[in-house]
Amino acid sequence: MLISLDSVIKYYGATLILNGVTATINPGDRIGLIGPNGSGKTTLLGLISGEISADSGTISRMPRLRIGYFHQSARMELSGSIEEELRRPFAHLIDIKNRLDDTARCMAECDPTSEQGQTLAAEYDRLNTAFESGEGYLIDVKINAVVEGMGFADFDRTMPTSQLSGGEGTRLGLAKLLLTEPDLLILDEVTNHLDFGMLAFLEDYLSRYKGAVLTVSHDRYYLEKSTNKTWEIENRQLVTYPAAYHAYLPLKAQREAMIEKEYARYTAEKARLEDYVRRNIERASTSAMAKSRIKMLERMEQKPPPAPRPKLPRFNFVEQSQPVKDVLTVEGLSLSVGEQADKRQLFSGLDMTVTRGERLAIIGPNGVGKSTLFRALAGALRSDTGQIGWGRGVILSRFAQDDDALQGSGSVLDYLWNLFPGADAHSLRSLLGGVGITGEEVYKPVAVLSGGEKAKLKLAVMLMEKGNVLLMDEPTNHLDIPAKEQLEAAMREFTGTIIAISHDRHFLTAIPTRIMELTETGGRFYSGNFTDYLAAKQAEKAARPAPVVPAAEKKNTAYHRTKKQRSAQQALKTRIERCEADIAEREDRIAEIERLLSTPEVSSDYPKLLSLTEELQCCREAIDALLLEWEALHLELEAI
């Protein structure tokens, strides 16, 4: 056990945030923490990390537990160069290596048979053992892998970290945190800062991570790939499920159905006893029995009614009129950022046409210019070259990723009133209530809104504008999962045109009819959604001819191996094949369990459901162990 929480309660002032939280984090756990925005997820992370204290209850931690915490919004403390920051997690190993080198030099200068020589040899062995056990010989391998995965492969590692942008600094902080390899890694909304390649790297990294991981995310694909348990904060309480996100959903439905049935039985039994007492308490012949029923009522455990299910936000995009068929034409567009000597071209030669009713998603690596393109499309930025033409009758409504338009000290209601002065207070409050900004929240200053609240306000503005072309830059970034699902449903029902930037893979699977991959040389278009895009990319990769290596450059691999080496090599290959077979067998079982979990027979049988989800977790843990063994065997084979 790494951490145990028992009946933990937390207030902020007089407001109860968490009530009676009980849970345990064990080595190897992969926990996804979910819940509506403002439900207390970040507070729970603060309690677990020790940054804040509980008002009551106990939190127990394993002695010398190392916790690494990636905060949702705070940029990590960075100084020096990129290379210096990436080497800081290995400072103790680098110190051992320096002492090893010093000891080796001293050993070379003295008689190995002398007392001093023997002392130095013993010290060298001790230091070398510590260096090897800490995987000191893999320092550069680990750094290079994280540099590549976090998008710093093309950076000059001597660059001062002060010259990094906010997003780059956040990613470097994450890279540094991963290299520390703490016993418990806490990640709060880490996926908001990563593009597809970085997400794939992180998911692969976490699949092989030796410690436990506790992650807050609204990215459903990430939760499914990177977790094996789900914690949900609901009505100030924590409910734990032994399953990843998609398998947690039927477990939650089962739990809610059981609570409702138990409450129905309780109320029926209570009503029956109360009715008996009411009819018989005054009769002499039955008064004693009625009094026994009163005692039974007094002994009954009081059951509160099931908590009301949270009200979901409502989005309904309506276009006030239809534009012409070709709503957007872009020809030879080039865009740059920066001024004079610092000017840098993002992309050039972009051609695109968007037709009425199309849902186009724009994807691409961070920094390629997706948001800059949207600013140019909205008329907020002049292009270097090329033409942007909007069709007749287009009414543009834009969801910007930045919050520049939401600055000011006024309230949420005032903000909407200033934009739509002809609207009445009742209709504006109804609109805000529909998107999830309710009650006194409408008088909240815009400047203090959370990321999710700002997103809902921007969506409320779009609903009022009734545009027939929606420009949406990362609209799901700060929304919780229920709000994302409601937004996606509304966008699918919208009859107008949608052009959206996103790295949310679930959104990209649910919404687009076409995808444009933005690159430095323009755009590449793919029909269908994200699944179709991945299939097309895979087909492109398979069709690409293998590079031809000139004969003169081919390495001579005809090594003169000894019989012992050949035997060892064959033994390793046999063990690798056995590992791969075991992995395939467990993957087949996982697929079968996931199929069973979706069937009505299993979803209505709670004990069976629980048994299968526990087996699912065991299979995934076994695959993790087998992958580690497979990797170690390959390294051993390469060494031979």
| Whole-structure pTM value | 0.78
If you average pLDDT over residues 67-73, what whole number do you get? Answer: 86
The yes-or-no answer to whether 1-78+165-242 and 326-540 have a common fold is: yes
How far is it, in rounded angstroms, from Cα 198 to Cα 200?
Answer: 5
Does 3.30.420.10 match the CATH number of domain 1-78+165-242? Answer: no
Those residues with Cβ within 8 angstroms of residue 617's Cβ, 6 or more apart along the chain or in another chain = 228, 229, 242, 243
Pair of tokens at residue 18:
């968490």
Phi, then psi, of 360 in degrees rounded to 5: -100, 125
pLDDT-derived band at 560, boundaries 50, 70, 90 = very low
- Residue 531, Cβ density class (10 Å: 0-12 exposed, 13-18 middle, ≥19 buried): exposed
**CA Rg, the chain, in Å?**
30
Would you state the pLDDT for residue 639? 64
Helices (H), 397-450: 412-419, 425-435
H/E element, 11: strand 3-12
Would you state the pLDDT for residue 546? 64
pLDDT-derived band at 566, boundaries 50, 70, 90 = low
**Distance from the first to the final alpha carbon of the chain:** 39
Contact 507, 476 (CB under 8 A): yes
Contact 92, 180 (CB under 8 A): no
Interval 204-262: pLDDT, tens: 999 989 999 999 999 999 999 999 999 999 989 999 999 998 889 899 999 999 999 99
**Is the pLDDT reported for residue 203 higher than 80?**
yes
Task: Tell me the sheet residues that pair with 9.
Answer: 56
pLDDT mean across residues, the chain: 88
If you average pLDDT over residues 84-101, what whole number do you get? Answer: 93
**For the chain, domain boundaries:** 1-78+165-242, 85-163, 259-299, 326-540, 560-639
How far is it, in rounded angstroms, from Cα 229 to Cα 29?
Answer: 7
Interval 123-177: pLDDT, tens: 989 998 999 888 888 898 899 989 989 989 889 999 999 888 888 888 999 999 9
Higher confidence at residue 559 or residue 611? 611
If you average pLDDT over residues 258-272, what whole number do you get? Answer: 93
Interval 574-600: pLDDT, tens: 778 878 888 888 888 887 887 787 677
Contact 181, 212 (CB under 8 A): no
pLDDT-derived band at 640, boundaries 50, 70, 90 = low
Higher confidence at residue 622 or residue 349? 349
How far is it, in rounded angstroms, from Cα 524 to Cα 140?
Answer: 36
Contact 566, 640 (CB under 8 A): no
Pair of tokens at residue 149:
């995965």
pLDDT-derived band at 565, boundaries 50, 70, 90 = low
How far is it, in rounded angstroms, from Cα 582 to Cα 588?
Answer: 10
pLDDT-derived band at 571, boundaries 50, 70, 90 = low
Report DSSP letters for 210-232, one per residue. SSEEEEE---HHHHHHH-SEEEE
How far is it, in rounded angstroms, from Cα 158 to Cα 141?
Answer: 18
How far is it, in rounded angstroms, from Cα 268 to Cα 489?
Answer: 39
If you average pLDDT over residues 286-291, what whole number do you get? Answer: 90
Using left for φ > 0, alpha for ψ between -120 and 50, and beta otherwise, residue 508 falls in alpha
Interval 376-389: pLDDT, tens: 999 999 999 999 99
Of 53-67, 339-353, 477-491, 578-592, give the lowest mean pLDDT range. 578-592
Strand, helix or coil at 137? helix
Interval 396-424: pLDDT, tens: 999 998 877 787 678 999 999 999 999 99
Strand, helix or coil at 233? strand
pLDDT-derived band at 558, boundaries 50, 70, 90 = very low
Q: What proportion of the chain, given as a percentage, has pLDDT over 70?
A: 93
How far is it, in rounded angstroms, from Cα 256 to Cα 240?
Answer: 13
Of 513-522, 525-534, 543-552, 629-638, give the lowest mean pLDDT range. 543-552
Pair of tokens at residue 502:
């996103």
Would you state the pLDDT for residue 573? 78
pLDDT-derived band at 557, boundaries 50, 70, 90 = very low
The one-letter amino acid at 578: R
If you average pLDDT over residues 420-430, what whole number do you get? Answer: 91
Pick from 156, 152, 230: which is nearest to 194 by CA?
152
Would you state the pLDDT for residue 447? 87
How far is it, in rounded angstroms, from Cα 626 to Cα 275?
Answer: 62
Please state, as a whole number, how many other Cβ atoms lie within 10 Å of the Cβ of residue 180: 14
* Cβ-count burial 297-335 (b if 16+ within 10 Å, e if not): eeeeeeeeeeeeeeeebebebebeebbeeebbebeebbb
Phi, then psi, of 465 in degrees rounded to 5: -70, -25
Q: What is the CATH number of domain 326-540?
A: 3.40.50.300
Would you state the pLDDT for residue 282? 87
